[in-house]
A and B are shown apart, each in its own frame.
Chain A
């Protein structure tokens, strides 16, 4: 039950309280660029959620088994090659390069999948699908997972990593769909010329961020509620 509480808290944290777009400022480019209509925005959100989950899975595996200080695989190879078993192998300097390759591969994989099973969706995405590679949100999720794999006494398992990634994706989808809904209405308003486009979108995002700040402190409440509920 401890695990379930932790997972629920991680999910709510990533999706609502520390929303990737409105709190951590990652994924702003698609947030401003692809939020003109609700259906494309929602589709983009789902694609990003898919990619982020696949990327989180792969990067967790790479970091847990190979990249973190004291990882099992390099230590095994080192010992097999006759090295001193006391030395701690730390390959974390290669982390960022590995992550970016993982993300590029995840995007390729998702692209192939979408092209095969949802051809009209693939066509409507156009160039935006491969552009997900430069979406900060995915690299950010990988970095957060890496952060939780540094302390050997408190290592995150695959379930926690996937929950964070999925929660982040859901939060991104929520934010981008909300923004698209608002912008669809804004199209019919008389926005001052200098602010049209990115200017007004950012101001709207600011107000949305203020609204999401209302979720601060929810984590504590949920923790207490779940604690008494699941006893």
Chain B
């Protein structure tokens, strides 16, 4: 019965690059732009999202038999909000400075379309292992997306990476990169680059045939 549905491994690999949340699906852009002015906040946000996504996927997968069409979005939202609150409290307790820096963007994970769409597409229909693999794959993909943008912005904007100086002292830090315009421009150009790579690959595949 479930032969035509993706397996756990397929879900995992899918989430990392082919259906990457940032570059292919264009979901969850609010945190992508907001917290990528440095690697540290970007990775912290990726971890918080991973926690919420994986826990929500597991929970929804466990109760998927009880869900009926009309109220399922409500159940998804309730579950996600709970896990995000837990993640937020954990951050405030153990990484207070990071929590202050990330500010309102941690609770905004609740409306991050990535999590709701994974609950809808995968967790509410497939078993525990597949849902967990999907969550882990998507989180990895999201983290990759955030890390790539944060690397560009932090190195060009502050000359550091994870707080360590990587650029020579004479590098004039491009302040604009850590400000809002830099976020938009970086994401736009990187999206263009990703699209170009995908097109080239498709062209080559077509030529190969």
Interface: B160 (CB within 8 A): no
Interface presence of B89 (CB below 8 A): yes
B205 within 8 A of A: no
- Number of contact residues on B: which range applies? 35 or more
Chain A's interface size range is: 35 or more
Chain A CB within 8 A of B147 CB: no
Q: Are B185 and A26 in contact (CB under 8 A)?
A: no
Q: Taking the nearest CB of chain B, how far is it from the CB of A32, in angstroms?
A: 7
Question: Which A residues are in CB contact (< 8 Å) with B77?
Answer: 100, 104
Q: Please judge, given known A-B contacts A139-B110, A140-B108, whether A206 and B188 are in contact too, CB under 8 Å.
A: yes
Inter-subunit contact A134/B116 (CB<8 Å):
yes
Contact indicator A192/B184 (Cβ below 8 Å): no
B26 in contact (CB, < 8 A): yes
With A97-B78, A134-B116, A199-B191 known as contacts, the answer to whether A210 contacts B110 (CB < 8 A) is no
Q: How far, in whole Å, are A64 and B39 apart by their CA atoms in the complex?
A: 36
Q: Is A198 interfacial (CB 8 A cutoff)?
A: yes
Minimum Cβ distance to chain B for residue A206 (Å): 3
- The residue in A25, A93, A97, A104 that gathers the most chain B C-beta atoms within 10 A of its C-beta is A25
In the complex, whether A7 has a CB less than 8 A from a CB of chain B is: no
**Complex CA–CA separation, A207 to B85 (angstroms):** 35
6 nearest A-B residue pairs (beta carbon): A202-B188, A206-B184, A206-B185, A194-B196, A203-B188, A199-B192
21 contacting pairs across A/B (C-beta < 8 A): A25-B29, A29-B27, A32-B26, A96-B81, A97-B82, A97-B85, A100-B81, A100-B111, A104-B74, A136-B111, A194-B192, A195-B191, A198-B188, A198-B191, A199-B195, A202-B191, A205-B188, A206-B185, A209-B179, A209-B181, A210-B176
What would 18 more interface pairs be, CB under 8 Å, given A29-B113, A202-B188?
A23-B180, A25-B34, A100-B78, A100-B81, A134-B116, A136-B111, A139-B108, A143-B104, A199-B195, A202-B191, A203-B184, A205-B188, A206-B181, A206-B184, A209-B179, A209-B180, A209-B183, A210-B181
* B residues at A contact (CB < 8 Å): 26-27, 29-30, 33-34, 74, 77-78, 81-82, 84-85, 88-89, 104, 107-108, 110-111, 113, 116, 176, 179-185, 187-189, 191-193, 195-196, 199
